[in-house]
Structure 1
Amino acid sequence: MNAWLVRIALDLRQRSCNNDLRDVVALHRRVMSLVPNDLGDHARHRGGVLFRLDHSRTGPTLLAQSCIPPHLTRLPDGYGEVAIRDIGPLLKALEPGMRVRYRIAANASKRVAVGDAAGKVVPLLGTAAEDWWHRKAHTSGLDLRTLTVQPEPAAVGRIKDVRHSITRFDGTAVITNADDVRTAILTGIGRGKSFGCGLLNLAPER
């Protein structure tokens, strides 16, 4: 079971970074450039590619995960400060009863079943978003113990018409089913996985 997590502290002096940050479709293409070009149809799924933008006072950080060793030389010169980690050992170490810290930026949403908006996917906010994450965490093998919720900037595409609301969930949880957790980490959770949603990160709580 192999997977790699790349962390890039983006250099906002670089035009390439700013162009990618303005358009999530361009950012998706940048992340996909890290895996081989010959993956065929459903390349993101075959490569196990997920990503997330973390925002902090020190600037944006791009996290990109793949099941194929990433080709970091394909990043533009000066794109950012890069660190890579093999998370295979972490995946293997997960076991029921383990207490972990988690973070996920997800597209908490639902498809409307009735009314004028029937068939449309709408974002969930407030307690509805919290309830969504509780349900998703439960089916992903996590028993949530603490939770903080933070709305994030929406993923907006300018090359193509893309818009996904994003909510960040942080906290602690206890693993109830390690196989379900591993699947959630490797495949992501919820909608919008091609555009910066659904990447779940865990770390053992010390």
Structure 2
Amino acid sequence: MFLTRFRINTARMGARRLLTSPQSLHAAVMASFAERPDHQGGGPRVLWRLDHQSRSEVLLYVVSPARPDLTHLVEQAGWPTTGGWQTKPYAPFLARIAADDTWTFRLTANPVHSIRRHAAEPTKRTAHVTPRHQLDWLLKRQADAGFAVVERSEPRPDGLDGAWHEVVVHNRGDLAFGKRNEADERTHKVKLTRVTYDGRLRVLDPDALRHTLTAGLGKAKAYGCGLMTLAPAE
């Protein structure tokens, strides 16, 4: 596995096109590999995420089973003469993860649930729209994903019952774009919600967390969702 970071030059026309089209950016990421990655079986896959540090600093992170070549992205949306990308083997970091370790984390995800108005109606996938429900989406998946979001011991600032978790839900974005169906070549409209979670976690199951970091969490992985990264906790 490899972890790659690429800074996007937001002043370039090609960068603006990629930043406004998850479908185009997904295609550009997948074009970084000579052999198209196989995503069957639920194992390691290509994951990517955009981090908007500021209006002029946007970072693309990619986790992948094979080492990528981002030359085309540098030419289209980078600094061809002075810029590049950084790729590091991910396995040494993954091997360091141990039970009860504490890490800060960032995750961009597509928090959805399935609903139906009556028993005869098929279920429909619907996005969670409030920060409270978006947080609940993450908390319901944390144990199976191998971690627990750290809880604070002091009372909640809002006066409500329940734990106060060390996580912030922010940067919600509602995306709508066209996707071409390979079977009939028709364009279908795709709508999804992306949100970012920043917080601290404690490792419960190192193997399960390693799977989360390399296979992703939740839906819409092709469109910049599901990639969790860790950093040392202060």
TM-score clears 0.5:
yes
- Give aligned pairs, total: 203
Q: CA deviation at 1:56?
A: 2.3
The range that moved more, 190-199 or 120-129, is 120-129
Unmatched segments (≥5 aa) in structure 1? none
Q: CA deviation at 1:10?
A: 0.6
Q: CA RMSD for the aligned pairs?
A: 2.3
2:166 pairs with 1:153? no
**Aligned counterparts, 1:1-206, within 5 A:** 3-39=1-37, 42=39, 48-57=45-54, 58-77=56-75, 79-80=77-78, 81=83, 82-115=85-118, 118-124=122-128, 125-145=130-150, 146-160=166-180, 161-206=189-234
Aligned-pair identity in percent equals: 23
Provide the secondary structure at the position in 1 that maps to 2:133: helix
Is the 1:47–1:68 Cα contact (8 Å) retained in structure 2? no
Deviations 1:35-75, CA, capped at 9 Å, x for gaps: 22354x648x7771011111122432211110111122343
Is the 2:111–2:137 Cα contact (8 Å) retained in structure 1? yes
The structure that has the greater radius of gyration is 2
Q: TM-score, structure 1 length as denominator?
A: 0.88
Deviations 1:78-130, CA, capped at 9 Å, x for gaps: 62242222221110010101111111010000111434974211111221111
Quick one: structure 1 residues 55 and 68, their matched pair in 2 at CA, closer, same or farther if it must change by over 3 Å?
same
Is the 2:169–2:196 Cα contact (8 Å) retained in structure 1? yes
Counterpart amino acid of residue 138 in structure 1: A
Of Structure 1 and Structure 2, the greater helix share is in 1
Could you tell me how far apart the structure 2 residues matched to 1:111 and 1:186 are?
A: 25
Quick one: structure 1 residues 52 and 173, their matched pair in 2 at CA, closer, same or farther if it must change by over 3 Å?
same
The range that moved more, 136-145 or 113-122, is 113-122
